[in-house]
Amino acid sequence: MLPDPIRWPSSSSTGEKGFSEVARKVHSMGLKFGIHVMKGISTQAVNANTPIMDITTGGQFQQSGRNWTAQDIGIKERACAWMPHGFMSVNTSLDAGKAFLRSLYKQYSEWGVDFVKLDCVFGEDLDLAEIKVVSEAIEGQNSTVLFSLSPGKQATPEMATSVSGLVNMYRVTADDWDTWPDVASHFDVARDFSAANLTGAAGLLGKSWPDLDMLPLGWLTDPASNEGPHRACRLTLDEQKTQVTLWSIAKSPLMFGGDMRNLDHTTYRLLTEPTLLQINSDTSNNKEFANDVGIKITRSEPNWLVLLWRKMCRILAQHLVTHTSNGIPTGVRAWVATGSQDVTYVALFNLNEVVTVISANLRDLDMALPGRNIKEGSCKCKEIWSGKDLGVVQKSLKTSVNPHGVALFVLNCNKP
């Protein structure tokens, strides 16, 4: 496979090096080189009946006394659901099908590709067999390629457990664009995948992460448009802060979806906020947190933590979290995460259409995060988005949050 030499002159002017010259240039700029590819094999390759390469010999794949070609492995009945005329699955039960995928990912590695997003194999398009073969090909070739899956529509934690050990990240939502319903829809998903202990689970050559999709900030185009970028992000600034805060504290991969060539100061600050990057890369115990002053459980009771969360979940269902007739989450949400050196992070989200006062009791935080020493009168606090130093917190964090906005607190709690 070679790039179009008209669109990519370096692929032919350097002795058919493919994308290797592009990768070299990208790497020289201190960046990583990623590609977005589709499942299986292209319809064009099947129609042309191209030969399959055997990476062990460098020639055409042979087995049972015959040469194997694209028409032997393409499954026309399993075309990509959203690009049915472009790509189809390969028969991975055949050695020839496996050989084709191995040759493809060997080529990507030789080009210098750092990241591969494989589309049309997850969510409602789940193709576990192809995912396994590709994962084995990457691992078997001692490649450092990061392996990402898409799309995420109808993805579930149960489905994710079947792939998390084979990949580095996988989409868990439909495409995310710059509308409030899109942002709000991620709260339930982020909560569920975190509760299933899938955040930072064992993955291909390291760990794996549920992917909440790109951050549609800055200068954008429109969905399914081949023109642009030509417009600014339509989210309010509060909504943008909410999005980057949720993505960070849920430890989703942070993929910027705007035009890097037209990056305004506000967007740059959102993407480079040091506290968010610290939370995203170096925290643990990241989860949605429900709190209510009426919870009364002591640590002396058996299974106190289980009882606490059961009560919190009931309160969450009854009082804090609702949905509109269109299924858009409303109410308030809270997330917590723990850092190093007695640092705890608390994010309070307002999904309502009006200004809302939100609070979190220190006692509840202390019970939800055992061993963090979150005691009344022992924690200094700063709110990140306002930059306000709030001094020592006595009993609770309490703040007024704008519609669709967020308050992000950093607690420094000294041990006695």
pLDDT tens profile 206-233:
999 999 999 999 999 999 888 889 999 9
Q: Which CATH number is 287-413's, of 3.40.50.1970, 2.60.40.1180, 3.40.50.300, 3.90.470.10? A: 2.60.40.1180
**Residue 298 backbone zone (phi > 0: left; psi -120 to 50: alpha; other: beta):** beta
Q: Is the pLDDT of residue 204 over 70?
A: yes
pTM for the model: 0.90
In the prediction, which pLDDT does 125 show?
94
Strands in 41-42's sheet, in edge-to-edge order, are 41-42, 87-90, 74-79
Per-residue pLDDT band at 10 (split at 50, 70, 90): confident
- Mean pLDDT computed over 146-169: 98
- Mean pLDDT computed over 36-41: 97
**63 is written with which tokens?**
């087995």
Q: Is the pLDDT of residue 335 over 70?
A: yes
By the 8 A CB rule, do 221 and 258 touch?
A: no
By the 8 A CB rule, do 227 and 253 touch?
A: no
Q: 3-state DSSP call for residue 358?
A: strand
Q: Is the pLDDT of residue 11 over 90?
A: no
**Selection from 90, 98, 112, 22 nearest residue 56 by Cα:** 98
**170 is written with which tokens?**
């996988």
16-273: CATH topology = TIM Barrel (3.20.20)
Q: 3-state DSSP call for residue 161?
A: helix
What span, in angstroms and rounded, lies between the C-alpha atoms of 99 and 134? Answer: 10
- Mean pLDDT computed over 41-46: 97
Q: Is the pLDDT of residue 372 over 60?
A: yes
Q: Is the pLDDT of residue 240 over 60?
A: yes
By the 8 A CB rule, do 160 and 193 touch?
A: yes
Q: Is the pLDDT of residue 315 over 50?
A: no
By the 8 A CB rule, do 307 and 298 touch?
A: no
By the 8 A CB rule, do 90 and 130 touch?
A: yes
Residues of the chain within CATH 3.20.20.70 domain(s) are: 16-273
Distances (CA, A) of 282 to 327, 339, 346: 33, 7, 15
Give me the DSSP letters along 293-324. Answer: TT----TTSTTHHHHHHHHHHHHIIIIIEEE-
In the prediction, which pLDDT does 177 show?
97
How many residues comprise the chain? 416
Task: Find residue 336's DSSP bridge partners.
Answer: 287, 346
Flag the least confident range among 13-17, 101-105, 171-175, 183-187. 13-17
pLDDT above 90 covers a percentage of the chain that reads 79
What span, in angstroms and rounded, lies between the C-alpha atoms of 123 and 172? Answer: 7
Q: Is the pLDDT of residue 319 over 50?
A: no
Q: Is the pLDDT of residue 190 over 90?
A: yes
Q: Which residues of 304-334 are buried (b: 16+ CB within 10 A; e: fewer)?
A: eeeebbebbeebbeeebbeeeeeebbebbbb
- Mean pLDDT computed over 113-117: 97
Residues of the chain within CATH 2.60.40.1180 domain(s) are: 287-413
What span, in angstroms and rounded, lies between the C-alpha atoms of 225 and 229? Answer: 9
In the prediction, which pLDDT does 412 show?
95
Summary mean pLDDT of the chain: 91
In the prediction, which pLDDT does 292 show?
46
| End-to-end CA, the chain | 64
pLDDT tens profile 250-307:
999 999 999 999 999 999 999 999 999 999 999 999 999 986 432 333 344 445 444 4
In the prediction, which pLDDT does 304 show?
46
Task: Find residue 75's DSSP bridge partners.
Answer: 89
What span, in angstroms and rounded, lies between the C-alpha atoms of 362 and 379? Answer: 9
On the 0-12 / 13-18 / 19+ scale of CB atoms within 10 A, 65 is exposed
In the prediction, which pLDDT does 187 show?
97
pLDDT tens profile 403-416:
999 999 999 997 65
Q: Is the pLDDT of residue 389 over 80?
A: yes
399 contact partners, CB below 8 Å, separation of at least 6: 348, 357, 358, 359, 383, 407
